[in-house]
Structure 1
């Protein structure tokens, strides 16, 4: 099954909102660290429900935010959620291959391997739990480096990575091939694509509610301590690249 088909099904089932609920606990800390200034152009790569773009516009005054997703249903849902929030004019149903423009937020259906932006035209790129779905992640990084303006940043956040052993089972639960890199592999790939690595660290999930001990076992964890470590310590791997 293709990425498009897989996530069209997720969107149709309403699972995009569930993704937002699970990711927000760490995504909000990543978004807060982004050096977005009023008027900046931002790309949310693999936008899902569009929550990150709306948050950046509302909290940092981003000038134009584009949410790009490979699944038309995801883009359609993101557009509807943005309209429901009272943004934009809501006119026209242009959620397939075209840009669904809503005030300062636009949603596009696109391929990670061929980003529909001109060279040096985007100030910042954000991606949460989506980068590892790229068919050719090295080329995707080259595309990101191409569209970023000098000094622009790429904030790449993933929970599926080599050091997070509990995440390794995720591949068995989805038909789409996923790339599982380690922290050093992310840094090396960023540098090969021409991005300076400004920082890399783990953003722990201190907000998610962990089931009480009497509700254990859950999620196939061998011990409760391992489950707590996963959320409170490993959390999300964040790699930040800067365009020269």
Structure 2
């Protein structure tokens, strides 16, 4: 099954909203680090429901945002959600005033971004980069469209060190790339993106029961659950265009 077919099906049965709720727990911290501001243009790769762009528009007052997804149904839903409820940041608390940012959602291929050279100030991707058919090509494309000094914040839960994520491939028909942290750094640098930082963003929103309540339906020990959410969390690699 293709990426388009897989995620069209997810969008059709509402799983895009489920991804938004789960990813927000660490995505909000990654987005807060992005040095975007008024007047900036931001690209969101694998935009899903479009929540990341809506949050950036609300909290950082970006001027323009492009959400790119390989699924037409995901892009369609993102447009509708943005028209219906301009704010995605309400997932974390109060709903700010509606933004005046120009947000658009397009269907496209990570390996052939439909943007001119040096046209994007910052790029973001949450739990989508590893679906790229050619991740090295995707990084070269990101480096091409970013303006010098622009950043790419790439966040993934599915990566080599996170042993608790390895079985995820069995639950999806799309091939996924599982790199370790060093491979991410090397690939970024090969593509012309200087690695400014790389760390693990913990998920502190997931409630972890006391030890006496284990095993649970999904976890044998509390230590394993703590490792998954508090130690591994989301791997965030930040590259800067040269």
Give the TM-score normalised by structure 2. 0.91
> Per-residue CA shift, 1:121-174, capped at 9, x if unaligned?
000000000000000000000000000000000000000000000100000110
Whole-Å separation in 2 of the counterparts to 1:138 and 1:222:
37
> Structure 1: any 5+ residue segments left out of the alignment?
88-101
1:105-126 CA-to-partner distances (Å, cap 9, x unmatched) read 0000000010000000000000
Asked if the contact 2:214/2:222 (under 8 Å) is kept, the reply is no
Post-superposition CA distance 1:78-106 (Å, at most 9, x none):
1111111159xxxxxxxxxxxxxx96100
Q: What does residue range 112-127 of structure 1 map to in structure 2 within 5 Å?
A: 112-127=110-125
Once the 2 structures are TM-superposed, how far is the Cα of residue 217 of structure 1 from its aligned partner? 2.2
Unaligned runs of 5+ in 2: 88-99
Shift of 1:216: 3.5
CA distance in 2, matches of 1:141, 1:134: 10
- The match for 2:33 is 33
The aligned counterpart of 2:208 is: 210
In structure 2, C-alpha distance between the alignment counterparts of 1:53 and 1:154, rounded to whole Å: 14
Q: CA RMSD in A?
A: 1.4
Which residue of 195, 198, 202 maps to 1:197?
Answer: 195
Secondary structure of the residue aligned to 1:202 is strand
- Counterpart in 1 of 2:23? 23
The answer for the alignment partner of 1:229 in structure 2 is 227
Which residue does 1:62 correspond to in 2?
Answer: 62
Contact 2:62 2:101 in 1 (8 A): no
Counterpart of 1:107 (choices 102, 105, 108) is 105
Q: 1:44 Cα deviation (Å)?
A: 0.5
Counterpart of 1:154 in structure 2 is 152
Aligned twin of 1:13: 13
Whole-angstrom distance in 1 between the partners of 2:86 and 2:181: 39
2: distance between equivalents of 1:239 and 1:144?
14
